[in-house]
Structure formats: structure tokens, C-alpha cells
Amino acid sequence: MTTVLTACGAGGGPSGEPGGATKRPSAAADRVEPLAGTPKPRLPVSVRSADGRDVEVKATDRIVPLSGSISEVVFGLGLGDRVVARDITATFEQARRLPVVTRGHDVSAESVLSLKPTLVLAEATTGPAEAIGQIRAAGVPLVVLDPARKIGDVATRIDTVAAALGVRDAGDELRGRTEQRLAAAKKGIPGGGAKKPRVAFLYLRGSASVYLLGGAGSGADSLIEAAGGVDAGKESGLKKDFTPITSEALAKAAPDVVLVMSKGLESVGGVDGLLKIPGVGQTPAGLDRRVASVDDGVLLNFGPRTDVVLKSLVEQIHEGGR
């Protein structure tokens, strides 16, 4: 029996795979849960941007967050009604109807400026540099955030966004709630010296012939370890965040479970297609058809919904959760 997990709804994996695969119900609706009440920003505030600039924020009535992760934090703080655009990775329900101003990590300065934003929140990976410069040249405050690549970055990200929005108290509340939920999710990890499953994160885009194995720094390694597993790629010696999949690399990783994004799984034709990728079918995970699938729009966001991802992984990667 194939084990397939879908977390947080947006564009989840196939409802039924050939060969007896099953799909579990979504762990939660694809929504961000805002704090009760609407915080009132205390402005102006001066914040330090990750690119070394000091940015003064005077108004937050028209916010443009340039990643799904940042969007989740803004909505989680209760200021979602002030967001006027979204990054293509912001796929949760409340943001879905907003105009898209990015493609991949590239932002359209013209699209952003046409919406007359009073604050833009960007990732360190957001580009091109010319577009960022164009937004700043137009006089729009733009704050760059440090990357969020592990569970430990969630609290820092919430604090940084809350500070930029002038709602530090709401940030404290959201951080506290998130940390409590992350701790609760970890309670499902089997104790008693249970063997830790080896989990390999595969990044797949079949339409573009992209097949990558996650290693140290992929982001998935932090989630897998927090869920009581061993990141098989990292443990096998992969120092890079992603490496092209080879039969040799997979044999060395020897995963008990394969973790994929739901759209990536769809792009290769589901579980049966996944097992046709050289080397996958010969791993312990492939032989047992053990596949965990988490939605693209939430897996590596490291924000207020990371507890849902963690809880789902705990349920799926351990034998008792099958």
C-alpha cells in the first residue's frame, strides 16, 4: 500500500494513484489563521533591511509581500486586508484573488508600482536587482528579509515582519502561538528508542526535466529532523542544498520514505511515474512505495503554518502513522 500525504490543500496530489495509492484528507484548510482582532500599527518605525539599509516605514495601508512565506506572516498578524498583491507562491485562500506581481523569484517593478504600495517586503532572493532599485527609486519603502531555511527561522521571521509593520505586540502573540503549535506537533514523534526513518526530499518538475535530491540546507532537512527523521541526502554526505538525482546518490541515501511536493509528484505521473525515475524504485522507500507529499505552497514556507506541515510529516514518516 502506498502512503501519500497531502498537507494544507492548495492543489494537492492525485486523489488516487495506480497500484493502490491513497490520499489522506488535507491536514487543514488552505487558509492562514489570523490572530483575533486587528492590531493597530504604531508608525513610523525604522527597521534594518537584510541588505544593510535602514528603512523608515510611515504607512502600511497598502502592503506588497513578495513571497508566500512573508504573505502568511502578514495575514497571520491580522493585516491581510492591507495586502494589495501577492507573489506567485502565495496560494492560500485569502490571497488567491490578489494580483500576481512575480514570476519565480523575479518581481515586476511596473506591476508593483501600479498598485501604489506604501510598503514592500522582499526576500533576499527576490530580484532582479534592477527591479528592486526601481521600486526604491520611486520612493517606496522596501525591506529585505533574511532567508528562512529552517524551523528556527520562523520566530525571527515573524518578529521581523511585525517590526516592519509596527505591530510588535501582535508579533509576540503570533510567535508564541506558532511556537506552542510546533511543540505540540512534535509530541506525536514515537519515543522509546524507535528507529528514525531515513527520508529523502526529491524536488521534481517533470515538465522541465528537473530531478533533484535535497541535501544540507535544502530546508526540508530541518523539517525532517524536527519530525524525528533523518535527512537521507544530508546523512549520505550531500553538502549542497540540491544535487541532480542519480541512481548512485539514491542508493547511498537509502531512504525509507521519499518526500515530494504535490505538484512535483503530479508532474512525473504520480507514484508510478516517480518509481520510474532511475534509482527511486530500488530504494527501500521505492520498494515499499512510501511517499509523503506536501503541497508546494506550504512545505518550505517556514511561517505560521509550519506546525501543520510538521504534524503531517510526523504522522507519515513514522511506521505508526501509516
Q: Is the pLDDT of residue 14 over 70?
A: no
pLDDT of 29 reads 61
d(CA 213, CA 190): 26
pLDDT at 159 (0 to 100):
98
Contact indicator for 149, 44 with CB cutoff of 8 Å: no
Cα 120 to Cα 57, 62, 123, 151, 249: the distances in Å are 10, 9, 10, 24, 41
* pLDDT confidence band for 10 (50 / 70 / 90): very low
Average confidence (pLDDT) over 286-295? 95
Instruction: List, for residues 226-265, the tens digit of each pLDDT value.
Output: 999 999 999 999 999 999 999 999 999 999 999 999 999 9
pLDDT for 2 beyond 60? no
pLDDT, average across residues 128-148: 97
Q: What pLDDT does residue 13 have?
A: 30
pLDDT value, residue 279: 96
pLDDT tens digits, one per residue of 73-112: 999 999 999 999 999 999 899 999 999 999 877 999 999 9
pLDDT of residue 320: 58
> Predicted confidence band at 318 (pLDDT cuts at 50, 70, 90)?
very high
Confidence of residue 319 (pLDDT cuts 50, 70, 90): confident
Does this model's pTM top 0.85? Answer: yes
